[in-house]
Amino acid sequence: MDKIHLNEMEFYGNHGVFPEEAALGQRFRVNVVMETDLQDAGRSDDLKKTINYAEVYTLCKEIVEQKRFDLIEAVAENIAADILNRFDSIACVHVKVIKPNPPIKGIYDSVAVEIMRDRHD
């Protein structure tokens, strides 16, 4: 199966279980990989035969910036469900939500969740 990647999209949202996360917000990064057949699009050079990346970006932006969740697992789940609901030609979607600065004492780069959903889930 062919794949379309949207890498390191960055948004500002108010997700987290702590009150300061909901009040102040923070940066989130999102990676999306969509599995679909790209042969017709490649042969025809026709946008209608592929997934419009701008639409996927906007969908992710709306979920991260306009909704509120305690868990980044819920952010990922909502992104995956919306992508599968909106684009019938996508067989499977992988979503990774990265939280660069969670309020955890320690030295680390980030925390993240990654999920994979297909039409059978």
Q: Which domains can be identified in the chain, with CATH numbers?
A: 2-118 (3.30.1130.10)
Distance CA 75, CA 67 (A): 9
User: What is the pTM assigned to this prediction?
Assistant: 0.95
CA 87 to chain centroid: 14
Residue 2 in this model has a pLDDT that exceeds 90: yes
Q: What is the model's pLDDT at position 120? A: 81
Q: What is the model's pLDDT at position 111? A: 95
Residues 34-93 pLDDT 10s: 999 999 999 999 999 999 999 999 999 999 999 999 999 999 999 999 999 999 999 999
Distance CA 27, CA 49 (A): 33
Residues paired with residue 29 on neighbouring β-strands, in sequence order: 10, 98
Confidence of residue 121 (pLDDT cuts 50, 70, 90): low
Confidence of residue 15 (pLDDT cuts 50, 70, 90): very high
Residues annotated as catalytic (active site), given as ranges: 99
Nearest Cα residue to 31 out of 66, 83, 103:
83
44 residue type, one letter: S
